[in-house]
């Protein structure tokens, strides 16, 4: 069994003036996600889903425990190392799309590769490839306001794929979409995982997700149920 994500006894406790011991958001998370799987993480608001996702992305530092992602021990990495690792190896997708409104679909992707330091020919080729992967090659010159919500989310996915990421972490990516578009996007996610051998962990409240993913996990009171 090849694991992309593995955490052991992972805690995240936030300091509090009213609680001497702090407020625990994660309470000893033990999580394993296998290579090439599409997994959703569910739970009530405040259950710790986004906190866990941020810890897995190196955006938040756990209080204790271990977290290994793509073979890296995130607890032993500096902020600069985490920034470079995140830029080069994982893709992040958010509910709000996060696209720059004045840039075209192509430019939103190309900019990320420019920041990464790729030469023009390489980033031009990769940006166009990613738009083709998500079925938006003909929309490369359109700006976000000229596209539907589903198309904007596909551009966000294309941007997440641009660094040839093997892991995509998505936080409520269908939260602003209608049910028809959600079905289309989830079908696309499943095909993306299976055809390109990508691993995807998605936080979601949406019941529609269950029929498309390989595994459904629940985060309840800071503990993962079902893994």
- Give, as one character, the DSSP assignment of residue 210: G
Q: What is the pLDDT of residues 46-102, one digit of tens each?
A: 788 989 999 999 999 999 999 999 999 999 999 999 999 998 889 998 877 789 999
* Global confidence as pTM: 0.87
Q: Could you tell me if 49 and 203 are in contact, meaning their C-beta atoms sit under 8 angstroms apart?
A: yes
Written as tens digits, the pLDDT of the chain (227 aa) is 699 999 999 999 998 877 777 889 999 999 999 999 999 999 888 788 989 999 999 999 999 999 999 999 999 999 999 999 998 889 998 877 789 999 999 999 999 888 888 899 999 999 999 899 888 999 999 999 999 988 998 898 889 888 888 899 998 888 877 888 888 889 988 998 998 889 999 998 888 899 999 999 999 888 888 65
**Per the domain annotation, does 117 fall within a domain?**
no
**Per the domain annotation, does 105 fall within a domain?**
no
Kindly report the CATH number assigned to the domain that includes residue 216.
3.40.50.300
**Per the domain annotation, does 41 fall within a domain?**
yes
Nearest Cα residue to 163 out of 212, 207, 114: 114
- pLDDT over 70 percentage in the chain: 99
**Per the domain annotation, does 109 fall within a domain?**
no
Distance CA 22, CA 223 (A): 17
Distance CA 145, CA 3 (A): 39
Distance CA 180, CA 90 (A): 28
**Per the domain annotation, does 140 fall within a domain?**
no
């Amino acid at each position: 069994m090849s694991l992309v994500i593995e955490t052991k006894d992972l805690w995240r406790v936030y300091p509090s003036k009213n609680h001497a011991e702090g407020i625990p958001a994660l309470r000893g998370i033990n999580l394993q996600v296998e290579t090439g799987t599409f997994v959703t993480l569910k739970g009530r608001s405040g259950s710790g889903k986004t906190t866990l996702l941020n810890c897995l992305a190196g955006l938040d530092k756990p209080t204790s425990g271990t977290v290994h992602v793509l073979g890296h021990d995130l607890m032993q990495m500096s902020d600069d190392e985490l920034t470079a690792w995140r830029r080069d190896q994982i893709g992040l997708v958010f509910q709000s799309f996060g696209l720059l409104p004045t840039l075209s679909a192509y430019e939103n992707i190309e900019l990320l590769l420019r920041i990464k330091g790729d030469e023009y020919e390489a980033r031009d080729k990769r940006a166009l490839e990613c738009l083709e992967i998500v079925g938006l090659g003909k929309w490369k010159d359109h700006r976000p306001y000229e596209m539907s919500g589903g198309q904007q989310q596909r551009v966000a996915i294309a941007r997440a794929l641009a660094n040839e990421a093997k892991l995509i972490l998505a936080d409520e990516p269908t939260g602003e979409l209608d049910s028809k578009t959600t079905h289309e996007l989830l079908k696309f996610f499943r095909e993306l995982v299976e055809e390109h051998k990508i691993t995807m962990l998605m936080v979601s409240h949406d019941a529609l997700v269950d029929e498309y993913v390989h595994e459904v996990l629940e985060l309840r009171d800071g503990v993962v149920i079902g893994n």
